[in-house]
Structure 1
Amino acid sequence: MKHILPQEVDQQLKEGRALSIIDVREDEEVAQGKIPGACHIPLGQLLERMNEVNKDQEHILVCRSGNRSGMACQLLESYGYRVVNMTGGMLEWTGEVEKGEGVK
């Protein structure tokens, strides 16, 4: 499984790179803030919502600490997806966050 640090993700976003970020935390966690532009698919819904994930691109998976996103990476990898786990998760994220009701 490939890994990336939160600081590396933040730097790539600041450089204007188009990244596919999938946040696998629960609704109440995401409501407190998520990485701008991240797609929210809770880990428990990932299997049934896999069709929403583009198989032709690489995805960075994010959770609170890196554990659930690691599980999500293993699941998606087993179906042939290219994924990277953001180690340290949102606990180590120092970049911008989107907050508010509209965050899904």
Structure 2
Amino acid sequence: MKEITAKELAEKVKKGEEVNIIDVREDDEVAAGKIPGARHIRLGDIPDSFDKLNKNEHYYMVCRSGGRSGKACEILKSEGFDVTNMTGGMLAWEDEVEVEG
């Protein structure tokens, strides 16, 4: 499975690169904050969302700590999608990215 750190993904966002970020956390978790521009699709809804995603695009998967997004990567990869898991999830994003401001 391809992986990227929160810092590396933040750099791509900061540089203005077009990144497709999918946050697979539950509604209440996302309500507390998410990466700007991230799309919210709960992990349980991923199998019903294949038709809303483009196999020609690359997706970065995010959750709270990296576990659920890893599962989402496995599901999407098995269907032919190009995906990368953000290691450490939003906990790493909050620690490594938001602190820098």
Q: Which amino acid aligns with 2:42?
A: P
Aligned residues: 96
Q: CA RMSD in A?
A: 0.9
Pick the structure with more helix per residue.
Answer: 2
Quote how far apart the aligned CAs of 1:38 are: 0.5
Aligned counterparts of 2:21 and 2:32: Cα–Cα separation in 1 = 17
Tell me whether 1:68 sits opposite 2:68 in the alignment.
yes
Name the structure 1 match of 2:78.
Answer: 78
Q: Which amino acid aligns with 2:52?
A: E
Quote how far apart the aligned CAs of 1:53 are: 1.2
TM-score under structure 2 normalisation? 0.92
Equivalences for 1:38-49 in 2 at 5 Å?
Answer: 38-49=38-49
SS of the equivalent of 2:32 reads coil
Q: Which runs of 5+ in 2 are unaligned?
A: none
SS of the equivalent of 1:47 reads helix
TM-score under structure 1 normalisation? 0.89
Name the structure 1 match of 2:11.
Answer: 11
Aligned counterparts of 1:45 and 1:12: Cα–Cα separation in 2 = 27
Q: Which runs of 5+ in 1 are unaligned?
A: 97-104
Larger RCO (CA under 8 A, 6+ residues apart): 1
**Identity of paired residues, percent?**
53
